[in-house]
Structure 1
Amino acid sequence: MIADRVAAARERDEDDALEPTAWENRVQMEPVLVETARQLGITSEPLPESDAPLGCERRDGRQGLSYDLPELEGAALDDPESALTDVARAWEELGYAVSSVGGGAGDVWRVNAETPEGAIVEVLTGPAATIVSGETGCFLEDGAPDEA
């Protein structure tokens, strides 16, 4: 029994060493948001985002760090149901788990998904605008370039 616990702890340490940092996940996810926005006809640059890491709880119960992903904003969509269904399909092809596609109160439509690494991506669209946003997964290490 003790040997099993030691082996499990070593395996977890090895898995932790292979895990990307929160910043690496942010860098990996930003092009996904930009491509999603492009697919929706949004050509604006990402809005400035906070460079401050966020505290989060990992699936294994340990504390970690995540980052907001840069938002992209554009005009309302002519056919939100069709556009968001296409986004959901593209995300599923990337291996993301799409958890919702649909309309809500006040003609607001939403699609969101989770990546295998735990990042969340989302598109909200309504009569006034469309927003593409997200948050990285929750990782043990920050990894930001200015980290001391």
Structure 2
Amino acid sequence: MSTVSKPKELLTLKTNDGKIFKVDEVLALQMCPVRDLLMLEEWKSLYTEDAIPLLRVNSRSLSFIIKWWSAMVDKKETTALQILKDLVLKKNMVDYQFLMQLVMASNYLQMDDLLKASSQLLAEVLISCGSVDNIRQNFNVPSD
């Protein structure tokens, strides 16, 4: 007896900068705003093929989140923080603004594992800066 696997369903997401992403339904359902919208559509029997807007997530962050999630699925024995470090610190250079955007995007999407990992990485980066002046310089924070 052969089994036929259900094809992966893709959902369309639209970032705040207008980029369209087709993502696996399993990943999309990890994002609370998407999950809530889909549940609302089902409850009211409204179904649409329109892209689901992610108002506080830009394309760079969503692209990274997709890459991070794929790595999480592939490397089940590795922690979320270690995978995040591997992806962010590839070039031994931290993009501080991007790291802040990632924390805010994971908070908005309510992706707890990513939020914890990105917050921990941000804390480690802040500690490694050493001084308040270095933190201000790296994160473009004006002096008082």
> TM-score normalised by the shorter chain: which range applies?
under 0.3
TM-score (norm 2): 0.25
- Relative contact order: is structure 1 or structure 2 higher (C-alpha 8 Å, sep ≥ 6)? 1
Structure with a larger share of its residues in strand: 1
TM-score (norm 1): 0.25
